[in-house]
Chains A and B, each alone.
Chain A
Amino acid sequence: MMNKILLGIILGAILGIFDGLTAWFTPEVRSQLLGIVIGSTIKGVIAGVLIGVFARKVHSLALGILFGLSVGLLLAFAIAQMQHGHYFAIMLPGGMVGLIVGYATQKYGAMPVKQRG
């Protein structure tokens, strides 16, 4: 089983790339696709690290999901602010990504082995 932070980073990055790539279906931003994918991936990785660290500290599926959702929404809100619009189109998927990473890190991530003595 993968450690929680690493799982959060990988999942956040994958979902971030996927999230960014969907911009291809919006013709008016297609020319900025590379920048969107890079930005979206960075956002996913940051969310993954934060959610992964939280999952290591707090062992609660409900709190993990709530925290993931909050982080996802917050980061997406920041990006939407920079874009000056598209709040719903950016924040809903962003929140969803945070929620999935929050669930996955609580459910599947491995805890670090504690040393005795």
Chain B
Amino acid sequence: MNTTKWRWLSDQVISQLQAGVQFPDLTDTRYRAVRFLARGGMGTVWLAEDTVLGRTVALKVLEVDLGAGEWMARLLREAMVLAQLEHPGIVPVHDAGTLPDGKSFYCMKFVQGQTLDQNLPATLSERLRLLQRVAEPLAFAHSRGIIHRDLKPANIMVGPFGEVLIMDWGLAKIANEALRRSGPSTATTQERDAAKEPPPSAVPVTGHGKILGTPGYMAPEQERGDSDQTDERADVYALGAILKFMLAGDQSKKESNLNPLFAICGKAMAAQPGERYLSVQELSDDVEKYLRGDPITAYREDVIERTLRLYARHRTAVVLVVAYLIMRVLFILFSRR
């Protein structure tokens, strides 16, 4: 029997209706819920009004109750990670705590825009510039000892003025020991079973031997659940996968030589972390070289490709010199008549 004919409400509408039933209890808080925004890995995100400062904010509220210690700790940990990362490409956190109904929450800047998977720039160069802008906050986070571990187009928000923000740091790994110690304790909660089934798209866990990330964007060491071996090169892998996603939808295949870009993807997504770029900055540098028309480290071009690249880079100069030589030859031919 065909059951789809009974689905006259879209998944989005159903999701919003469900969220409406579970409106967060903001009684006696400074916030007033405005509307449901999205459902994340751990909870729901709400558009709210900060009644004290009179500004619009986003509230991420844990779906489960107070008993779910691991999830609570994780949400607060995400807030703490974000609070450590003051960068224009990372959503700032304003507040964190517990609501009257016992649910944990944190308050962050409300970011308007669309995620990368919803709105991919039209031209190849725009996409590559955007990828570079994603690499910037990521490199900053790595310099602070924080690895995102769930980088994907759905977690990259592009604002109306082209601003790029990396979202959803819920699976981030804190490699920096000092930061880890200053954060909420997860030592005891790690040993407990998760109170709730994790969402199918992203399987978050903390300890060694458990899988986390999103298939297709998850490095092999993450897929194996090898948390100890997961370092910033896991984000390099994900960034390579995002570049691959960008190239898959590109319409300029006939105009540009995309082989170097696919080589960048290949190097970034190597099975062995040691064969990848050492950092997202290195990957971004190779993309910059491609955009400038310089040779990249990940790809050895042949003579024809090199000639075409140099021609493409210096087209006007080549045309001028050739025009000059043709003019000279014509002068010589006419002077001999």
Contact = CB atoms under 8 A, between A and B. Distances in A.
A53 interface: no
18 contacts: A15-B324, A18-B328, A22-B328, A25-B332, A25-B335, A89-B331, A89-B335, A92-B327, A93-B328, A93-B331, A96-B320, A96-B324, A99-B320, A100-B317, A103-B316, A104-B317, A107-B316, A108-B317
Given A22-B332, A25-B335, A96 B327 contact: yes
A37 to B, nearest CB: 15
A25 B324 CA distance: 16
Interface in B280-337: 316-317, 320-321, 323-324, 327-328, 331-332, 335-336
Given A103-B317, A107-B317, A26 B324 contact: no
Contact of A25 (B317, B323, B336): B336
Interface of B: 316-317, 320-321, 323-324, 327-328, 331-332, 335-336
Contacts of A96: 320, 323-324, 327
Contacts of A76: none
A71 B126 CA distance: 39
B335 A103 contact: no
A109 B163 CA distance: 32
Nearest to B333: A25
A73 interface: no
A97 interface: yes
Secondary structure dominating the interface of A: helix
A96 B323 CA distance: 9
Contacts of A108: 317
Given A18-B328, A93-B327, A103-B317, 9 more contacts: A22-B331, A26-B335, A93-B328, A96-B320, A96-B327, A100-B317, A103-B320, A107-B317, A108-B317
A26 B320 CA distance: 24
A107 B318 CA distance: 13
A16 to B, nearest CB: 12
A111 B230 CA distance: 44
Contacts of B328: 18, 22, 93
Interface string A74-117: 00000000000000010011001101100110011000000000
Contacts of A89: 331, 335
**5 smallest beta-carbon distances between A and B, as pairs:** A25-B332, A100-B320, A96-B324, A26-B335, A22-B328
A71 to B, nearest CB: 16
B324 A100 contact: yes
A33 to B, nearest CB: 14
A16 B257 CA distance: 37
A4 to B, nearest CB: 15
A18 B327 CA distance: 13
A100 B324 CA distance: 9
A93 B332 contact: no
Nearest to A19: B328
A97 B320 CA distance: 9
A96 B317 CA distance: 12
Contact of A100 (B321, B331, B332): B321
A35 B50 CA distance: 83
